[in-house]
Amino acid sequence: MTNRTALVTGASRGIGRTIALTLAQAGAKIVVASNEPENNDKVVGEIRDAGGQACAVFLDVTSPESIKAAFAEAQKQFGRIDVLINNAGITKDGLAIRMKKDDWDLVISINLTGAFLCAQQALLGMMKERWGRIINIASVVGQSGNPGQANYVSSKAGIIGLTKALAQEVGSRNITVNAVAPGFIETDMTAKLPQEVKDAYVARIALRRAGTPADVAGAVRFLASDDAAYITGHVINVNGGMYM
């Protein structure tokens, strides 16, 4: 990925941070984008300490203005964006019958609308260059469903639909659009779950273990590489056999 620039949303922590570090190790210049400036700077420092190139931009994916400003700053720093990783996402769980509309709207806004608006900005340059990679982070529950997560499940199912629609629109410009759908991954978020809940999830996984952020980042790295040049509109499941 030498001479490629990748912008990773939600790169300040968790899976996004690991994706940023992994793509940097593969030779890409990294734009660390999130609404956590202090953590952004930490990730940039890690990449630079390892000999890579990186910059940080503030990104609030609920704000079209912030998205435009972030991409403008990224292009000012590195010239163009070749790879976009739409990783930013949140959960606001609750049973559908009691779910507040604000919690529905926020999850859809960040997880789905934000990804669409970031893709729009990235495509402006990719279409001119006639080369690009967009990789959207979906979820196993976007395929299987999950009680108590109507908003999150809908957003991630939407991400899969968005991936397929964009892939068909921009394929003629040598731009691929794919998704990675993680299963039960060890993150700060899942670490807070009671042990019995974690055990129940692992029991449903064919490989009998939770995944790691590195497992997800490996799939992203592949899709961003030239090795995946003839793959588009596809969803790679990184779930250990939790859902097939």
pLDDT digits (tens, 9 = 90+) for 143-199: 999 999 999 999 999 999 999 999 999 999 999 999 999 999 999 878 888 999 999
CATH (domain of 124): 3.40.50.720
Flag whether pLDDT at 34 surpasses 90: yes
Which alpha helices (H) appear in the chain, and where do they start and end? 14-25, 37-49, 64-78, 101-108, 114-129, 141-144, 150-170, 188-191, 195-203, 213-224
Domain membership flag for residue 244: no
**pLDDT band at residue 125, thresholds of 50, 70 and 90?**
very high
Among 152, 201, 230, 243, which one carries the catalytic annotation? 152
* Six-digit token string for 118: 């970031």
Specify the pLDDT at position 41. Answer: 98
Structural domain including 201 reads 5-238
Question: Does any domain span residue 116?
Answer: yes
Domain count, the chain: 1
**Per the confidence metrics, is the pTM higher than 0.75?**
yes
Q: What is d(CA 228, CA 95) in angstroms, rounded to the nearest whole number?
A: 39
Q: What does the pLDDT read at residue 88?
A: 97
Predicted pLDDT of residue 191: 85
CA pair distance 229, 113, nearest whole angstrom: 26
Residue 37 pLDDT more than 90? Answer: yes
Which residue type does 82 have?
D
Give me Rg for the CA atoms of the chain: 17
User: Sheet containing 29-34: which strands, arranged edge to edge?
Assistant: 54-58, 29-34, 5-9, 83-86, 132-137, 175-182, 235-238
pLDDT in the model for residue 238: 98
Residue 62, pLDDT above cutoff 90? yes
Give the pLDDT band (50/70/90) at residue 67.
very high
Domain membership of residue 243 (yes or no) is no
pLDDT score, position 189:
78
Q: Does residue 53 belong to any structural domain of this protein?
A: yes
Report how far residue 59's alpha carbon sits from residue 82's, in angstroms, rounded to the nearest whole number: 18
Please provide the average confidence, as pLDDT, over all residues in the chain.
97
* Structural domain includes residue 56: yes
- Whether 24 has a pLDDT exceeding 90, the answer reads yes
Tell whether 200 is covered by a domain. yes
Tell me: the pLDDT tens digits for 194-232? 999 999 999 999 999 999 999 999 999 999 999 999 999
* DSSP category for residue 163: H
What DSSP line would sit under 189-241, residue for residue? Answer: HHHTS-HHHHHHHHHT-TTSS-B-HHHHHHHHHHHHSGGGTT--S-EEEESTT
Percent pLDDT > 70 in the chain is 100
In a domain, 174, yes or no: yes
Confirm whether 230 is a catalytic residue.
Answer: no
